[in-house]
Amino acid sequence: MDPTSQIIVALDCDDRATADALVEQLGDACRAYKVGLQLLTAAGPDAVKALVAQGKEVFLDLKLFEIPHSVAAAVRAAGALGVSMITVHGMGGSGIMSAAVEAARDFPGMRVLALTVVTSMTDADLADIGVGDAAGEQVHRLARLAQKAGCHGVIASPQDVATLRSNLGPDALIVTPGVTLPGESPAGHARPGTPHAAIAAGASHVVVGRTVTRAANPATAFHTVRTSLTP
């Protein structure tokens, strides 16, 4: 896979103008962007429509966790916007994930990804909500459930990728947030890794945030990330 197509830049911006400026700076170099709760709440679906109109792939990271009917309705709405990937929460169980997959069938270009364990969570955090297993074990439990429900792939930390790739096979998408270049702070991620390590372990995509979006020159930072993915 072309390294450029493996990088998703997270548009975690407070407003549409900031997001638009970043997209303009990166130009044709960046093909895919993540739109999450922050930008969607601030700017609405028009932010997604604008990216799609520019030929960009949009990873709509909403971590849907609702009754299956509502999840299906949200997936269909995302499909109508032209979204390429959408996330559901694996903790919602088979019913939610299956409903999302079924709703996505009308949009062949859209893939449903199941969030396993948020990269900020530790074993202690899981224990607080009644999950006695370690984060790694919970990741793989939910990944198996997601695959059985028909999801196209999963969201997991860089540290989980190698085992996930072995268990899920060559075709599953494995998208990894929590990646930073060597020497950078992992910010709020408890299980981070470098973009190179994630791809080398078998990730299909890496989600890059502050490394690019907070850089003095985002285009140069993006090029550095891209270069790091090649041997």
Confidence (pLDDT) at 121: 87
Q: What is the pLDDT of residues 39-82, one digit of tens each?
A: 999 999 999 999 999 999 999 999 999 999 999 999 999 999 99
24: domain CATH number is 3.20.20.70
**Which position has the higher pLDDT, 178 or 65?**
65
What is the set of active-site residues?
63
Domains: count for the chain: 1
CA atoms within 13 A on the CB side of 138: 24
Q: How would you write the chain as a 3-class SS string?
A: CCHHHHEEEECCCCCHHHHHHHHHHHHHHCCEEEEEHHHHHHHCCHHHHHHHHCCCEEEEEEEECCCHHHHHHHHHHHHHHCCCEEEEEHHHCHHHHHHHHHHHCCCCCCEEEEECCCCCCCHHHHHHCCCCCCHHHHHHHHHHHHHHHCCCEEECCHHHHHHHHHHHCCCCEEEECCECCCCCCCCCCCCCECHHHHHHHCCCEEEECHHHHCCCCHHHHHHHHHHHCCC
Cβ-count burial 137-150 (b if 16+ within 10 Å, e if not): ebbbebbebbbebe
Look up the domain containing 83 and give its range: 3-228
Q: What is the pLDDT of residues 11-51, one digit of tens each?
A: 999 999 999 999 999 999 999 999 999 999 999 999 999 99
Confidence (pLDDT) at 181: 85
Average pLDDT value for residue range 150-178: 95
> Residue 19 has which token pair?
């997001």
Confidence (pLDDT) at 190: 67
**Mean pLDDT of the chain, nearest integer:** 94
**Which position has the higher pLDDT, 192 or 53?**
53
Confidence (pLDDT) at 3: 82
Confidence (pLDDT) at 223: 95
